[in-house]
Amino acid sequence: MADTGFDQAQASRFARLALDCVHKPYPNKIAHSLNSDADVKPPRELTPAFYGCYDWHSSVHGHWLLVRLIRLFPDAPFVAEARRALAQSPHDPGALHNCGHALVALNRHAEALEKFRQALMAMPDSVELRHNEAIAMLALGMWPQAWERLEARLKIPSLHVADGLPEYVPHWRGEFDIGGKTILLQAEQGLGDTLQYVRYLPWVTQRGARVVLRVQPVLGKLLANFPGADKVITFYDHVSDVDFQCPLMSLPMAFGTTVAKVPARVPYLSMPPEYLLLWQALLGIPRRKRIGIAWSGMQHAPHRSLPLAMLAPLLERPDLEFHALQHEIPAADRSWLDAHPMVVDHSPKLKEFADNAAVVALMDLVVTIDTSIAHLAGALGKPVWIMLPFSADCRWLLDRADTPWYPTARLFRQRQPGDWHGVVAEVVRALSG
């Protein structure tokens, strides 16, 4: 485990704080509790949840604080503490919700689902509980019902799903005919989510609708000519003259997606030809097998990332040529890379995601963590090996080495929390086989 400057005794102290936030969401009391440990600076992974305990939503932040503590200290007795809280108040929805979060972090989704549903019996209008129920169900493969419950995300302000959606435009979720109408399909959340769910756009077109696709600015050039889109705009552009709207992550529900029924024909994404020509010239003629790598992602999910140095057993292969596919390289990794120049760094030249797509298209294989690069490679139909944490995102299901979303993908999972060494060793063995 990386040095966080935070020992297990302090972690236990703040695990109890997290439980206190769940049961007693009073900012002054929580602030006093935090100030009593003013000399303790939380590690980066805990900062948002830590300071979120000051506000009136401290119950929600308390849940996330406990989850992050579990991921940093997987051997600590936090789940046992949560269970003791349940024993003292077995019908308390906050304690049940808290225990469900902890169980998700330990990859025990069936048990987590049970806790979320028990909590929902007491709080049937809780959108946070309904959303977490959906996440557990998605991981368990219970997709048709899960997609419906996932609509609760639209009512959770912290997810920003509804940001920028026209207030006056009615929603469409597949329930009525849209032939001859214009529909706005809007991206939401991360770049990987957009790249994963944009695959449904041709299905909407087949319903006879004219489609306006609105995406993150960095994806604008890559998706500018996406098949079936009559118009592609970005979040910088104003929306006008649409009859209906649908966030991209609502499309699986609209089309009744099951594990056995996924639009998975690849490639469904291509890159502008001028970008491909540019990068062919920049990379030159391949002399060895090219491997693209991505090891660090967005910091809201630090448990998905690993230090570049951990990939050393892979990067030491002299018969392979490694290319960094990331827009940004963390300072610590750049220092390691300067001392061990095993990877071609393209980050200064990766201005648009169309650049990333062109580089990925020129690779023989992509090895990546769960980040947007994984979805980019999968959408392009490139062989991609995805390294997953112990408690992986629900889209990857459980205990599978494949995924219905990307037929060219292979999944490498942690067997224990934080065990990236085991994952890298498995990748090295697979590459040698």
256 pLDDT tier (thresholds 50, 70, 90): very high
348-371 tens-digit pLDDT: 999 999 999 999 999 999 999 999
Supply the pLDDT for residue 188: 92
Architecture of domain 8-155: Alpha Horseshoe (1.25)
Q: Which amino acid is at 85?
A: A
Percentage above 90 pLDDT, the chain: 64
| C-alpha distances in Å from residue 402, one per residue of 168, 304, 405 | 41, 18, 9
Instruction: Compute the average pLDDT of residues 235-251.
Output: 95
Supply the pLDDT for residue 396: 98
Supply the pLDDT for residue 307: 93
Which region among 103-107, 216-220, 413-417 has the lowest average model confidence (pLDDT)?
Answer: 103-107
CB 323 within 8 A of CB 356: no
55 pLDDT tier (thresholds 50, 70, 90): very low
For the ranges 23-37, 80-94, 110-124, 198-212, the maximum mean pLDDT occurs at 198-212
Task: Let me know if 289 is exposed, middle or buried by CB neighbors in 10 A (0-12, 13-18, 19+).
Answer: middle
Compute the mean pLDDT over every residue in the chain, rounded to the nearest whole number. Answer: 85
CA dihedral of residues 389, 45, 360, 382 (deg, nearest 10): 20
Q: Does the domain spanning 182-254 belong to CATH 3.40.50?
A: yes
Strands 289-294 and 182-186: unpaired
Which region among 236-245, 262-271, 272-281, 300-309 has the lowest average model confidence (pLDDT)?
Answer: 300-309
CB 70 within 8 A of CB 78: yes
383-408 tens-digit pLDDT: 999 999 998 999 999 999 999 999 99
Give the span between the Cα atoms of 145 and 283, in whole angstroms: 47
Instruction: Compute the average pLDDT of residues 34-40.
Output: 42
294 pLDDT tier (thresholds 50, 70, 90): very high
Task: Please give the distance of CA 159 from its chain centroid, rounded to a whole number.
Answer: 12
Supply the pLDDT for residue 48: 39
CB 11 within 8 A of CB 46: no
Nearest partner of 224 among 357, 360, 348, 346, judged by Cα: 357
Give the span between the Cα atoms of 16 and 34, in whole angstroms: 11
Nearest partner of 67 among 19, 30, 31, judged by Cα: 19
Token pair belonging to 362: 């020129």
Strand partners, 247: 186
Greater model confidence, 39 or 197: 197
Greater model confidence, 244 or 61: 244
41 pLDDT tier (thresholds 50, 70, 90): very low
Supply the pLDDT for residue 76: 64
Q: Do domains 182-254 and 273-432 have the same CATH topology?
A: yes
77-96 tens-digit pLDDT: 666 665 565 455 556 787 78
Question: Per-residue pLDDT for 156 more than 70?
Answer: yes
162 pLDDT tier (thresholds 50, 70, 90): confident
Domain 273-432 sits in CATH at 3.40.50.2000
Domain boundaries, the chain: 8-155, 182-254, 273-432
Write b or e for each residue in 7-45: b if 16 or more Cβ atoms lie within 10 A of its Cβ, otherwise e. eeebbbebbebbbbbbeebeeeebeebbeeeeeeebbeb
Report field, pTM of the whole predicted structure over 0.75: yes
Length of the chain: 433
CB 321 within 8 A of CB 290: yes
Question: Per-residue pLDDT for 183 more than 90?
Answer: yes
